Structure 1
Amino acid sequence: LSSPPPPAHFSPRVSFDTFSNPSASDFSLTLNRKHREYAYTKRSRTFLVGTDTNEYSDTALEWLIDELVDDGDEIVCLRVVEKDSREALKWSGGQGEKGYRAEAERFLDAIQRKNTEDKAINLVLEFSIGRVQETIQQMIRIYEPAMLVVGTRGRSLTGYSSLLSSGSVSKYCLQYSPVPVIVVRPSSKREAKKRKRLMDPARTGYRDILDKS
């Protein structure tokens, strides 16, 4: 007899869902995938990251997973657009609630695959159709993240404006976020900065900053 397949490293769970509530002013779906060896400790940290399908968004998420996150940490991936926006219509795919759910599951699959080192982390996807700025502040209040991570195309800090489909959202996050914001550059620029930083004998890593906070 053939042996059974190995257990999945991440277990899926729907922890919050208002898509089926017709009285809700906004619609949101919270998906959670927890690594089978994940364990919350007093050193566990939560990071909130803006995510979408753009390359610079992938860069920010990959940097966070590869460089900053450790076993026991939690990543909250936020994806939100205004109602009746082009992105909301695209996500629904003409199927309404069913389309939103399918897009959320597909997107979380892609996020999970980025954990190439199989770190024992907890992944949360906040998939929302509603008021962008209010959703950002709400997620910060709920999760109390150590940091907010966003991507950028290059010199201009425009990653979040494209991410959340509003030209003023990027500036809003940087100005009004009550937690520190890390803006991740594209890979080539990030590598150049990294080499320069490594040559600085007085440099302080992000982990050191968090440990001392």
Structure 2
Amino acid sequence: MHPPANLPSSSPSQLPTPAYTPKVSFDTFENPNASMFSFTLQVKSEGYKRTKDTRVFLCAASPDESGIEALDWCLESLVQNGDELIVFRGVDEVVLDKDHDILREEARDLMRTIQSKSYDHDLDRKLSIVLEYIPGKITDSLDRLIALYRPDSVVVGTRGRRAWQGMGMIGMGSISKYCLSHSPVPVIVVRPERKVKKNMEKRKADPKRGRHFE
């Protein structure tokens, strides 16, 4: 898909959201016998084809800065044409006592955001995107998703503790540590850009590090 002639190709954020084909979704919110309560959405870019070279990545995208950075990094620097990205968003299990339609709409909004960001980063890239919106313990859900999708790598943020604790859940810092020690596949830990810059400035100012940064 190419930008309309009246729009500059250097401004993908101004372009309309690309056409994605919705695939079969799964909803077990209403099933008391389900082994895992979840709302799953899947879309594929027009022309997407899975091949033997397709890579699968699982991104734990918490709703805080760290999770957003991890998701943005996946879309900007990791996934390539023909890949599949599994985005996992954990929510507090108590939400199952509330209106499930609200949860479903939140998931749909997140999926639309992911599609738009993917298009902004590379408008010609063909991807399969799966969103897993799952209430419950984060580590248990991650273990099940890794077993289900068998990703090539898992991507997590470094922090986000307050965001998860605000929902009565384990902190994202603990999630990254858990993945590093328990995941059967490689783990990529993404640090927020501002923290990387802050540490770089600190290292530059350290006289013990010599003149490597000049």
TM-score for both structures, normalised by structure 2: 0.72
Match of 1:83 among 79, 90, 93: 93
Match of 1:113 among 116, 126, 130: 116
> What per-residue deviation string (whole Å, max 9, x for no partner) do you get for residues 117-144 of structure 1?
1221011000111232221111001111
> What per-residue deviation string (whole Å, max 9, x for no partner) do you get for residues 33-65 of structure 1?
110121111111000001132222221111111
> Within 1, Cα distance between the matches of 2:83 and 2:148?
16
Runs of 4 or more above 3 Å deviation:
159-164, 167-170, 188-194
In structure 2, relative to structure 1, the CA distance for the partners of 1:190 and 1:74 (3 Å cut) is farther
In structure 2, relative to structure 1, the CA distance for the partners of 1:21 and 1:59 (3 Å cut) is same
Question: Which residue number in structure 2 is paired with residue 15 of structure 1?
Answer: 25
Question: Which residue number in structure 2 is paired with residue 97 of structure 1?
Answer: 100
> Within 2, Cα distance between the matches of 1:161 and 1:47?
25
> Within 1, Cα distance between the matches of 2:86 and 2:197?
25
Question: Which structure would you say has the larger Rg?
Answer: 2
Structure 1 residue 35 corresponds to structure 2 residue 45: yes
> Within 2, Cα distance between the matches of 1:191 and 1:114?
23
In structure 2, relative to structure 1, the CA distance for the partners of 1:44 and 1:26 (3 Å cut) is closer
In structure 2, relative to structure 1, the CA distance for the partners of 1:25 and 1:143 (3 Å cut) is closer
Amino acid across the alignment from 2:101: K
Pairing of 1:135-154 with structure 2 (within 5 A): 135-152=141-158
What is the aligned length? 177
In structure 2, relative to structure 1, the CA distance for the partners of 1:130 and 1:188 (3 Å cut) is closer
SS in 1 for 2:25: strand
Amino acid across the alignment from 2:134: S
> Within 2, Cα distance between the matches of 1:140 and 1:104?
20
| RMSD after superposition | 2.7
Alpha-carbon offset, residue 161 of structure 1: 7.8
In structure 2, relative to structure 1, the CA distance for the partners of 1:98 and 1:183 (3 Å cut) is same
The runs of 5 or more residues in structure 2 that have no matched partner are 1-15, 201-214
Amino acid across the alignment from 1:101: R
TM-score for both structures, normalised by structure 1: 0.73
Structure 1 residue 56 corresponds to structure 2 residue 66: yes
Question: Which residue number in structure 2 is paired with residue 67 of structure 1?
Answer: 77
Amino acid across the alignment from 1:112: Q
> Within 1, Cα distance between the matches of 2:47 and 2:161?
32
> Within 2, Cα distance between the matches of 1:41 and 1:31?
21
Q: Contact 1:50–1:160 at 8 Å: present in 2 too?
A: no
Q: Contact 2:17–2:115 at 8 Å: present in 1 too?
A: no
In structure 2, relative to structure 1, the CA distance for the partners of 1:39 and 1:161 (3 Å cut) is farther
The runs of 5 or more residues in structure 1 that have no matched partner are 1-5, 153-157, 195-213
SS in 2 for 1:104: helix
SS in 2 for 1:102: helix
Amino acid across the alignment from 2:136: G
